[in-house]
Amino acid sequence: VEILDKLDSLINDLNQGIPAEISLRRKQYEYYREKLLSFKEAK
């Protein structure tokens, strides 16, 4: 029940849910940006 309450507050509370989503998307973007732009040095 506690987990469902937390999920409900993240989904329905715009002040809490949207900033959390933005933060997670920013981390996801940074991860994939680093993966795509990190080139191994040619020998």
Structural domain boundaries, residue 15: 2-29
- Residue 25 counted as domain residue: yes
- Residue 21 counted as domain residue: yes
pLDDT at 41: 72
- Residue 38 counted as domain residue: no
- Residue 6 counted as domain residue: yes
Measure the CA–CA gap between 22 and 15, rounded to whole angstroms.
12
DSSP assignment letter at 38:
-
pLDDT along the chain (43 residues), means of 10: 84 75 93 89 69
Total count of domains within the chain = 1
pLDDT at 42: 66
pLDDT at 22: 87
Measure the CA–CA gap between 2 and 30, rounded to whole angstroms.
31
41: left (phi over 0), alpha (psi -120 to 50) or beta: beta
- Residue 41 counted as domain residue: no
pLDDT at 11: 75
- Residue 24 counted as domain residue: yes
Give the largest CA-CA distance in the chain.
Answer: 56
Could you tell me if 21 and 11 are in contact, meaning their C-beta atoms sit under 8 angstroms apart?
no
